[in-house]
Structure formats: C-alpha cells, structure tokens
Structure 1
Amino acid sequence: MSHEAYPRLNELLKERAAEGCAVRIAVGDADSPDVQQRGDEEKFGHGIQSRCRLALMHYRPLVGVPGIEVRTHATTLYNSIYRADDQALVNAHVWGVNAYSAPVWHLRRNGEGGMFDTYADSFDAVWATATPVGEK
C-alpha cells in the first residue's frame, strides 16, 4: 500500500499501533547495490531507488511512535510483503518487470510450514539484518 493510494496511511498505522498492533516497516536501502541492481534489471534505472527514498520520506514521521518500527535493508528485493495477522499480500517481483506489472498473491495461513510461513519467515530474516531508521 502506498501513501499516494492511501494518504491517511500513517494515521491508520498510528491508530493500529495505539490499539496494540505491532507495526514493522522495512524499506529497501536506496544506496544498496542490490536495490540498484534491481532497478537495472527492471530497466527502471534510478526509479527503484527513488521509490525507496520516497517511501522512507513518507514513513519517517512514524519513527519514534510507540509500537511502530521503521528500518531499511540492503537485501535483494524479491518481493513486497504486506501482512496483517494470518493474511498477507505478496507482490512477487519478476525479473525484468516493474512491480506494478507483477502478480500479487493473497496468502492465508493454513497450518504450519505453508507458503504464508515461508514469506513470514523471509520477512523476519530480512528484518533481522535491517537498520533502524533514526529520527532526524
């Protein structure tokens, strides 16, 4: 979900965090060689880096809000994961194709070890390598 599509996104995330929801946002590090490579592969050039910088600009006001963590990561951007409880939307990135043209899967947890857990574990692994965004 983008701030352009849902301008009230930060307020929604603050409301959910105030209700006890843990909000974790991981954005690609625009200066990472892996992010830059993806831009080259998608023939999107600096567009990917710009999207990462723009996303971070929009999420930065959430830094320091109780219940919300914002981090950047320098891993290869294989997919975008939007998760809520036992459901997730996964925008699977396809080599040479911009993300908006790639498929989006709606996953639901059905027991242990399925596709949902694979993507949830993947996010957790990236999160563990990510750097917290400081207040500026």
Structure 2
Amino acid sequence: MVALYDKRADLPVSVFVDLLAAAREHIDILVYAAVFLHEAYPRLNDLLRERAAEGCNVRIAVEDADSANVQQRGKEEEFGHGIESRCRLALMHYRPLLTVPGIEMRTHGTTLYNSLYRADDQLLVNAHVWGVNAYGAPVRHLRRNNDGGMFNTYADSFNAVWETARPVAG
C-alpha cells in the first residue's frame, strides 16, 4: 500500500492526473460516474487521447444510468436521481473518445463496491460506503508487488466487470 486517504475529497485531483499521465501500458477506470475528474481537470479527455496515441490501452466503464443498481445507490445515498444524472453526464464527457483508437468505453450494471482508477502497476481504490457519497469515502493507493496481492484482486475485479459490460454505441 502506498497511501490511505480518509476521504476521496482529501486527494488533490493532481493525484489522479499524475497517476494517469504516468501510464504507459494500461489505464482502467471503473466508476458509477466520477464526473469530478472532468470537472476538476477539463483536459482529461486530451490526456487519455495522448496516452492512447502513445500505445496505452484505455478502458473506461461507467455505470448504466438505467440499471437497478443506480436506482438503489441513489436511495442509499439519499441523493435520489442525482446519481442517474451523473452517470449520463459522465457518458457525455467521455463520448468524444468513442472513436479514438486505443480507447474503449462500456457501461455496466453491476453493484460497485469500489471505484477503480488503474494506471499500469498503480491503483486508486475509492471504497463505496453505504449511505455515503464517494467523495466522503476512503481511498487506498496501491502498487502491485511481486506476488500481486491486493492489487491483483482489484485488477481481476475490473476485468470481471469489463467482461459483463456493454460497449457504448457511437
């Protein structure tokens, strides 16, 4: 483990940006919406395009706004339809990347226990806590070690969700 943060809101957006900017092989993003990234760093799509142009494989999985899990999460957070609109907004932000070689985008309908932000051998894991918005929940910064350990558990989780997710239509 590299670091532990009490709340995602405690992390400067530069932690996310620096992590993604350093990626050379893989960027994997698994979220309900994570619109905070685009709002705090308007060049996010440019950064992802640059990484893909240099050979980095980028995979982005956003929650399907119409899934039962989004409805349930909205009730738990007492945020109502807010999470649905954030999922739709996330797709609007990412939509310009649909035709970029090296970038794939899908929607999933799974229950997310964590949002994942992977860049090569580093991973930010934003825990989801019942009734708490993601910005108020803890984040673990992991680095892959020789035996894989916790890092591989989360990377495998991403892959499992990715396999069930549907490509976003252009």
TM-score normalised according to structure 1 size: 0.96
Query: Which sections of structure 1, spanning at least 5 residues, go unmatched?
Result: none
User: In the alignment, which of 51, 57, 62 is matched to residue 22 of structure 1?
Assistant: 57
Sequence identity (%): 80
Match for residue 42 of structure 2?
A: 7
For the residues of structure 1 that align with 2:74 and 2:143, how far apart are their CA atoms?
Answer: 30
Structure 1 residue 112: Cα displacement: 2.7
Identify which of structures 1 and 2 has the higher relative contact order when contacts are C-alpha pairs closer than 8 Å and 6+ apart.
2
For the residues of structure 2 that align with 1:36 and 1:79, how far apart are their CA atoms?
Answer: 17
Structure 1 runs (4+) greater than 6 angstroms displaced? none
1:1-136 aligned within 5 A: 2-135=37-170
- How many residue pairs were aligned? 135
TM-score normalised according to structure 2 size: 0.77
For the residue of structure 2 that corresponds to 1:3, the secondary structure is helix
Aligned partners of 1:72 and 1:131 also within 8 Å: yes
Aligned partners of 1:38 and 1:77 also within 8 Å: no
Query: Which sections of structure 2, spanning at least 5 residues, go unmatched?
Result: 1-15, 17-36
For the residues of structure 2 that align with 1:39 and 1:121, how far apart are their CA atoms?
Answer: 26
Structure 1 residue 98: Cα displacement: 0.7
For the residue of structure 1 that corresponds to 2:129, the secondary structure is coil
Aligned-residue CA RMSD (Å): 0.9
**Deviations, residues 10-47 of structure 1 (Å, cap 9, x unaligned):** 00000000000000000000000011101111111111
